[in-house]
Amino acid sequence: MKAFIRGAGVVGGFGCRLSSLEEAIRKRPAPDSDPAASGSSTEASAVSTATARTDLLDQLIPPRTLRRVDHYARMAILASHLAREDAGMGNGLPENTGLIVATGMGPTANTLDLQAADVAATDLALSPILFSNSVQNAAAAYISMLLKIRGPSLSINQYEMAVPLAFQTAIDWIEEGRTETVLVGSIDCFSKALHEAALNCRDLKNGNGGQRAAPVGEGSSFFILTRSGTQDIRYPFVRHVLMGGTRRQNGAPIPNTLILHNGAGRNTGFMGHDPVHANFAHLYGTFPTSMGMDVAAAMLLLRTEQLLSISVPQFEAGPAFPENPLICCLKKGETGDWGMIVIGR
């Protein structure tokens, strides 16, 4: 079934809200070809370019309420609030709204802080607040409490495939009648562990020795999904969610379809096709759940034809594209698994 995206909120190295992401795409639709252009090294850019700020959250929620909330959960809370605001649900989400939070590595910064080399020092420094914020479902708990969500709640961890699995689960909930509305999103925070994992990734380089490595990033993106058929269709639909692996090479054909591929490499061949692709990793970095940012970017490209032509000038849409516009967000894992979320309008 198709699920209508009623609202979306994003937080990343580019700023907050969809308007900030659109502005970033307009200013830098493609990565810099000269590594020296930014005046910094690859490691420095990985830290400074793609980390997120959550100052806006203090204007939405009393700081006293957030005094025990860490950076990981703050990004998720802010993105979910922005999604509700974008959907025009400032008075609150429906009481039976479902919540699905996808993460690749969870709050690794907090988890690693609890794992000091000196056991005695760990016992002395152990903090109940730090411990409670180190679990995978901490963000879902905070969102449920602050947004007063009473429906089913689920936290999903499947590293690079967490986002397509979360979207598929959200669609299943709506189709089965478990809930009419689902707040589904993703979150990963920058940490030394995430940085090291990315540096050791065999696909980190762009495939061109003259180009810089894709920055390691962090961020959160949340979407409010409802049943299709709503009259106020400002945003596209989630048309399909596909997942597979090395043993499953067949799938839906993707002729004349733009691919958003948030990977550091240029290996975008898929199922025997070599489609036109765009990559905005230079704006929000690469991290396990960065596919959520691709979904938000796909929404913007489908909304504004001018933005699509600026970002992907080599894409020839053809006469059939306006009648059935589709953008595929593709994530390819290191072990051969893949996930695809097809956004249509």
Q: How far apart are CA 152 and CA 158, in angstroms?
A: 19
Q: Residue 53 pLDDT more than 70?
A: yes
Q: What is the pTM of this model?
A: 0.85
Residue 299 has what pLDDT? 92
Q: Which two tokens stand for residue 299?
A: 């929404």
With bands split at pLDDT 50, 70 and 90, how would you rate the model's confidence at 37?
A: very low
With bands split at pLDDT 50, 70 and 90, how would you rate the model's confidence at 236?
A: confident
Domain span at 258: 3-344
Q: Residue 164 pLDDT more than 50?
A: yes
Q: Which two tokens stand for residue 332?
A: 């390819």
Q: What is the overall mean pLDDT for the chain?
A: 79
Q: Are strands 98-103 and 277-278 parallel, antiparallel or unpaired?
A: unpaired
In order of 34, 261, 286, 300, 341, the CA distances from 331 in angstroms are 26, 6, 11, 19, 9
With bands split at pLDDT 50, 70 and 90, how would you rate the model's confidence at 156?
A: very high
Q: Residue 209 pLDDT more than 50?
A: no
SS3 314: coil
Q: What is the pLDDT of residues 300-333, one digit of tens each?
A: 998 887 788 888 776 766 666 777 788 889 888 8
Q: Residue 208 pLDDT more than 70?
A: no
Mean pLDDT of 59-74: 88
- The total number of structural domains that make up the chain: 1
Placement of tokens 């806006």 in the chain: 56
Q: What is the pLDDT of residues 82-107, one digit of tens each?
A: 999 999 888 889 889 999 999 988 88
Residue 39 has what pLDDT? 45
Residue 101 pairs in a beta bridge with 155, 185
Per cent of the chain over pLDDT 90 is: 33
Per cent of the chain over pLDDT 70 is: 70
Residue 68: DSSP 8-state: T
Residue 252 has what pLDDT? 53
Residue 247 has what pLDDT? 60
- What are 60-68's contacts with CB under 8 Å, separation 24+? 61/146, 65/146, 68/129, 68/133
Residue 40 has what pLDDT? 47
Residue 214: DSSP 8-state: P
CATH of the domain at 126: 3.40.47.10
- Burial call 293-303: b when 16+ CB within 10 Å, e when fewer: bbbbbbbbbbe
With bands split at pLDDT 50, 70 and 90, how would you rate the model's confidence at 11?
A: very high
CA 63 to chain centre: 26
Q: Which two tokens stand for residue 182?
A: 């689902």
| Rounded (5°) CA angle 121-122-123 | 90
Q: What is the pLDDT of residues 178-205, one digit of tens each?
A: 999 999 999 998 877 666 666 665 444 4
